[in-house]
Amino acid sequence: MPCRLALSFIILFVSAINSAEDQAAAVMERRTKNLLISPNVPPADPALSASIRPYQNSRRAIFVGFKDRPDTAIKHGEDEEYRGMYILTRFADSAQVHYVAQPMAMREQLTYCDEPVKECYPATASFREAMVAESNISDSMHDENTADPNHEGHLFVFGQDSGGDENTSYYLYHSGGRTSKLQLHDDDGGSKRIMHRSWAWNNNKPYAAFVSNARDGTHFDLYLVSGKDIARHVHAEQRTENEDIIPTTSIYNNTKSGYLRIKDFDHNHLLVQHYTSVTDSQLFLFTLDENDMTKLKDVTEICEGDEPASVGSSAQIIGGRENNGEVAVAYSSDRDGQYKSLFLWAKSNHMVSHEGLAGIGQEIKPWDVECLAYNQETGDLVAGYNEDGSTMLYHWRHSTTLPRLDKLRLAEVVPALNGLGMGVVAGGLKFASIRSRFPDSRFVVGFSFVSPTSPADAYILEKEYDPNLFCIQYTKSEIGGLDSSTFSGPSLIRYKSFDGLEIPAFVYKPNASNNDSCNSQGIPVLIHPHGGPEGQHRPTYSAFYQFLMNKLNVAIIDPNVRGSNGYGKTFVSLDNGRNREDSVKDIGSLIKWIETEGKEKYDLDPNRIAVWGGSYGGYMCLATLIHFNDKLKCGIDMVGISNFVTFLENTASYRRVLRRFKYGDESDPEMRKFLNEISPLTNADKIRAPLFVCQGKNDPRVPVGEA
C-alpha cells in the first residue's frame, strides 16, 4: 500500500475508532494536493508517517524457475555452480527479476523497469539448444564474455503491463543484460488494449506458445512462435524495418468466454485449461503435427463429465515422450466430489484410462490440490494441498517394479515443510533438471513459502537417494529492520452464521507484550472481507497487519465468507446470483461473534469495529456499512463495486461473462432490477459512519466510475 494512501487510511481509522460516542461531528475540511479529508480527520502526524515507513520496506522473493542449461554445458562435480534460480523481488519501487546463484547468495538484479514485472519464464535447456542450432545466431542470445557463450547467458521472457491496466506485453532478456520487446501483434502504436498471458516454452522443440486476446479484445486464442523468429527479431543486424512484428501462428481461435491458460508444452502436445468460472473449467490436450508444428491435428478433452467441474491451477504432461504416441497427464479436479483431487489420465493406442491416484482417499483429508509438479527423469510427484488455508506438501513416487504410467504410491508427507509452520506455497512448484545441477540427488523442487510472520522466500526441497529430505532456504527477505519476534500470527476460528453455516476466519490479535496502550475497553477490530468474490484469506505475511497490531494495538479478522474458494464447490457457490447478500449476513454474524466470544476470549472491543475491503471486498465494506451501520465506526472502500449494473456494463469485455456467472446477468430485466436494489449506490443514504474511498484510474476490473 503506497505511503500516502496508507496514512490516509490510518488517519481516518484511528480518528473514527477513538472518537467519543457522543462527540459532536464538527465539520472540518482540508485539502492536501488532490486528497480531500473531511469530518473529524486530524492533520497527518509526522511521527505516524515515520513509524509506518519501516513496515513498507519489507521485501519478498517469489521463485519463478531454475536457470536451466543443456547437459553438454555441465561438467560433473561442479554442481554448486549450477544451483541458480530466478526470483521476483523489489529493491527499489517495483518487483524485478533477480538471479540467485546458490543458497543465500547475493540477489543479482537483471531487469530495471519502471513497471513491476508480473511474469517470468526462464527458457528451458532444450529450447536454448534447439534455438541456437536452428537460428545460427547464437552470439545474439548469450553473453559474449562467458566460457561457453552458447549456454551461460541468462535467457527468459518476462511480462509487464502499464499502470496496472493488465494489458501485458512480453520482453526477452538475453545477451549482456539486453532486453527486447517481443512485438507479437500490431497494437497500433500502443493504442490497442491487447493482453498477452501464459507464455510456455516447449520442453523439447524450438517453439513457444502463448495466449492473447489480440483478435477481438474479448476472446483469448492460442498462438505459436518459433525460436528462429525470436532469435532473428532480437538480432538487430538481421532485422529489417518491416520485421518489427514477430511472425506468430494462431493454432486455436477460441469462440467461448473465459480464459485459456497453458499448463505444459511438451514435444507436440499443449496442455491448456479453459477457465469459465470458479466451478466450471476444462482441460484440453492439443496435439500438433510433429512435422509441421503450426498445424493442429487433434484436441482431446481430459476431464469429461456429465456435470460441470473445475480443474485445478496446476497440471502437467507426465509421460509419453517418444513412446509410440503414448501420453499421460496429471491434474486435479472436483469432478468426483467437493474438492480437487489428483487424477491420472493416460492415452495409448487410442485406449484411454482415467483414475484417481492411489492412496489419496485414505491418507489425505479432502482438501483442494493447489499445485503439483512431476519429475520426468525419476517419476516423482510432489503436490501441495490447501488445508484450511495453509499448504501441506505430499510426495508420491513410482514403484520401481511398476510401469512408468502405473499408479503412484504415497511416499511421505513432506516433514521439512511442516517445520516452516502455518503458511502458503507461493508461485507453484517446479522441478530442476537433476542431470544438470544435482547429480547426487533423486529430485530437487523449487518453490516460495510465506508465513504470517515472515515474507515469502525461495526454497528447494532436495531428496537424496538415502531417506533424507532437505528443505534449503535460498533467500532471506528483509523486513525493514524490524524485529520479527514482535510479529503476531493468526488463530483460525469458525463461527456460525445466520443459517447455521460455519464460517472460517483468521483472527490476528496484537501481542500484549508489544503494547502499553491496552485499556479497559478492549482491542479495536478491523474486519477485512477479501475480494474475488471467490477469493480466500490465507495465513500469509502482511507488513500492514503487523503495523496495525504493533503500533496501533488493532486486531484484524479475515473472514472467508460463503462464496470463498478452498472449502468445496458447494461452499463457493452459496453466494451466486440472488444469494449475494447472504455473504453480507456472514459479516453480520461475525460482528455478533465479536460481541460475545470475541470479547470474552480475545479481548475484542465490540464498540470499536471498522470494515475494510478491496474490489469485491470493497462492495462488502459498503454493504456492511449499509446493513450494520450502527455497529461500525468507519469503513474503507478500495476499488470497490458500488453498482453491480454499471460494473457489469463497464468492466473489461473479456471479464464480463465470467462476472455475470457469479453476480447475475444485468441484461435480464428481473436480475437487473434485483442488482440495482442491492447495490450500495442505491442505498448510500443509509451509510452514517465515516467512509474513505480509493479507486484506481486504470483499473480494467472495477472501473473508476464505481467510486
Cell output for 691: 467512509
Can you give the pLDDT at residue 71?
A: 47
Q: What is the pLDDT of residues 174-216, one digit of tens each?
A: 877 788 889 898 875 566 788 999 999 998 888 999 999 999 9
Residue 572 binned pLDDT confidence (cut-offs 50, 70, 90)? very high
Residue 486 binned pLDDT confidence (cut-offs 50, 70, 90)? very high
Q: How far apart, in whole angstroms, are the C-alpha atoms of residue 626 and residue 663?
A: 19
Which of residues 394 and 144 earns the better pLDDT score?
394
Answer yes or no: are the C-beta atoms of 566 and 503 closer than 8 Å. Answer: no
Question: Is pLDDT above 70 for 74?
Answer: no
Q: How far apart, in whole angstroms, are the C-alpha atoms of residue 566 and residue 568?
A: 6
Record the pTM: 0.89
Residue 504 binned pLDDT confidence (cut-offs 50, 70, 90)? very high
Question: Is pLDDT above 80 for 278?
Answer: yes
Q: What is the pLDDT of residues 141-157, one digit of tens each?
A: 544 444 333 345 788 99
The DSSP bridge partners found for residue 368 are 386
Q: What Å distances lie between residue 568 and 155, 659, 699, CA to CA?
A: 40, 20, 30
Cell output for 58: 519489507
**Antiparallel, parallel or unpaired: β 634-638 and 691-694:** parallel
Question: Is pLDDT above 80 for 413?
Answer: no
Give the DSSP H or E segment for 9. helix 3-18
Q: Domains of the chain (ranges plus CATH)?
A: 118-254 (no CATH), 485-706 (3.40.50.1820)
Residue 684 binned pLDDT confidence (cut-offs 50, 70, 90)? very high
- Which stretch of 110-119, 440-449, 452-461, 603-612 has the lowest confidence by average pLDDT? 440-449
Can you give the pLDDT at residue 85?
A: 94
Can you give the pLDDT at residue 515?
A: 55
Residue 398 binned pLDDT confidence (cut-offs 50, 70, 90)? low
**% of the chain surpassing 70 pLDDT:** 76
Question: Is pLDDT above 90 for 596?
Answer: yes
Q: Is 34 exposed, middle or buried (0-12, 13-18, 19+ CB in 10 A)?
A: exposed
Task: Give me the residue label for grid cell 480443474.
Answer: 311
* Distance from the first to the final alpha carbon of the chain: 18
Dihedral (Cα; 331, 332, 334, 340), 10-degree rounding: 180
Q: How far apart, in whole angstroms, are the C-alpha atoms of residue 170 and residue 342?
A: 32
**Antiparallel, parallel or unpaired: β 555-559 and 634-638:** unpaired
Can you give the pLDDT at residue 153?
A: 78
Can you give the pLDDT at residue 322?
A: 47
Can you give the pLDDT at residue 150?
A: 37
Residue 500 binned pLDDT confidence (cut-offs 50, 70, 90)? very high
Q: What Å distances lie between residue 471 and 100, 165, 354, 358, 415, CA to CA?
A: 17, 38, 33, 26, 9
Query: Average pLDDT in the 254-258 region?
Result: 90
Q: Mean pLDDT highest for which of 57-61, 141-145, 372-376, 518-522?
A: 57-61
Answer yes or no: are the C-beta atoms of 275 and 256 closer than 8 Å. Answer: no
Can you give the pLDDT at residue 341?
A: 87
Can you give the pLDDT at residue 361?
A: 38
Give the DSSP H or E segment for 329. strand 327-333
Asked if residue 533 has a cis previous peptide bond (ω within 30° of 0), the answer is yes
Q: How far apart, in whole angstroms, are the C-alpha atoms of residue 264 and residue 426?
A: 19
CB atoms within 10 A of CB 181: 13
Give the chain's length. 707
Task: Give me the residue label for grid cell 532485422.
Answer: 239
Residue 39 binned pLDDT confidence (cut-offs 50, 70, 90)? low
Q: DSSP assignment of 177-237, as one string? A: G-EEE---S--TTTTS---EEEEEE-SSSSEEEEEE-TTTSSS-EEEEEEHHHHHHHH-GG
- Which stretch of 68-77, 123-132, 489-498, 521-530 has the lowest confidence by average pLDDT? 68-77
Three-class DSSP category at 14 = helix
Question: Is pLDDT above 50 for 556?
Answer: yes
Three-class DSSP labels, 234-288: HCHHHCCHHHCCCCCEEEECCCCCCEEEEEEEECCEEEEEEEEECCEEEEEEEEE
CB atoms within 10 A of CB 25: 9
Query: Average pLDDT in the 55-62 region?
Result: 93
Can you give the pLDDT at residue 353?
A: 60
User: Cα-flanking dihedrals φ and ψ of residue 71, to 5°?
Assistant: -60, -30
- Which stretch of 123-127, 243-247, 355-359, 685-689 has the lowest confidence by average pLDDT? 355-359
Task: Give me the residue label for grid cell 523497469.
Answer: 113
- Which stretch of 16-25, 77-86, 370-379 has the lowest confidence by average pLDDT? 16-25
**% of the chain surpassing 90 pLDDT:** 48
* 26 contact partners, CB below 8 Å, separation of at least 6: 39, 40
CB atoms within 10 A of CB 495: 20
Question: Is pLDDT above 50 for 382?
Answer: yes
Among 662, 571, 572, 565, residue whose Cα is nearest residue 368: 565
Q: What Å distances lie between residue 450 and 63, 100, 250, 476, 639, CA to CA?
A: 11, 18, 38, 11, 26
Q: How far apart, in whole angstroms, are the C-alpha atoms of residue 57 and residue 59?
A: 6
- Which stretch of 14-28, 259-273, 352-366, 468-482 has the lowest confidence by average pLDDT? 14-28
pLDDT averaged over every residue in the chain: 82
CA 10 to chain centre: 27
Can you give the pLDDT at residue 401?
A: 33
Q: How far apart, in whole angstroms, are the C-alpha atoms of residue 462 and residue 497?
A: 44
Which of residues 395 and 501 earns the better pLDDT score?
501
Answer yes or no: are the C-beta atoms of 575 and 619 closer than 8 Å. Answer: no
Question: Is pLDDT above 90 for 122?
Answer: yes
Residue 511 binned pLDDT confidence (cut-offs 50, 70, 90)? confident
Residue 32 binned pLDDT confidence (cut-offs 50, 70, 90)? very low
- Which stretch of 37-46, 378-387, 535-544, 668-677 has the lowest confidence by average pLDDT? 37-46
Can you give the pLDDT at residue 342?
A: 85
Question: Is pLDDT above 60 for 330?
Answer: yes
Can you give the pLDDT at residue 187?
A: 73
